[in-house]
Structure 1
């Protein structure tokens, strides 16, 4: 049995990010021996990050539930909109809080997630021509997770999530090709997580990326940066 955690950062009801997360969950559940837990970040009370979160005086809030599930999960999916060239503030805050256990307690410079597989689902209102820029402005999300020792096994960018020019709303439920594509990615992710759980091995390019990040962290630690 593998345990998958889904974190949805979308706040709207209905939410394009949440619908895509549900489609990915449907795909994963078609694979045998898969358990899924999902959190909507908008329903959680998580205080803003401060340096006290690196020590014993960090306030106790709903982050403890998320931390427990992330550590217990064999794989994690994050589904988020991109607003004004970045992700919602509560997702950025969650990632900041993750540094308390995603990095070593001594130097806060060595990733501790040991290659845990992640998958990222992004939605946005921009057309195809603008997605190259959107990918750049959201690149801090995968980079932060990789710094914590995670492996990003895949991403999905769903563009033009608008009902009309400048009119935002639910549209992905009427995109059968997108929903089927995300379901297939859910199946592939679940199978990759099963292999990682069984063998401890990631696909080659992800192993190489993990080694590169680890080498950079060792150099940084050695220099006392």
Structure 2
């Protein structure tokens, strides 16, 4: 997805009308964010995206007809998809992994403080993933134990140049583009170019999936 200029356009997807209303009220009043549409189920997402062109989708997991995981996978299969932040009450390890591997750029709980939700929307719109700290710790423990993941990840990363591997490691540590540039003594534009090349080489959808692969490979 191209980086956002102007207000970040947000689509809220949740089957609870009170949750949608609360999120809309909170986000639409935040500087730099505009809530452009709401949807009550995952099956409404494609039409809402076509009609309103959001930059970020706040996605619930549990919905009656099409769940958030399925809706996220369908979005990632489209050209130029919006970024997805999963916002849910269910934080099991399996849900986190499935959401991130489906292409979500962030995973937050519904009891996350409002400012952190606002920050997450702005961060993923800028191309940087967002996970709550507790989820990050548990995720790292989980991916390290998945059978076969280490060998597959090492094989996938073997085709990268040493500089690209440095960038992968920095992404896995949660560094922003500016922090990576300062750490590796390169421009922010060069960092962005490296990340684009890495995504293409590894056939991945976003930075979060780069981080997952790095942790699978034991690099971080």
Q: TM-score range by the shorter chain?
A: 0.3 to 0.5
More helix by share: 2
- TM-score using structure 1 length: 0.45
The answer to which structure has the higher strand fraction is 1
Q: Which has the higher contact order (CA 8 A, sep 6+)?
A: 1
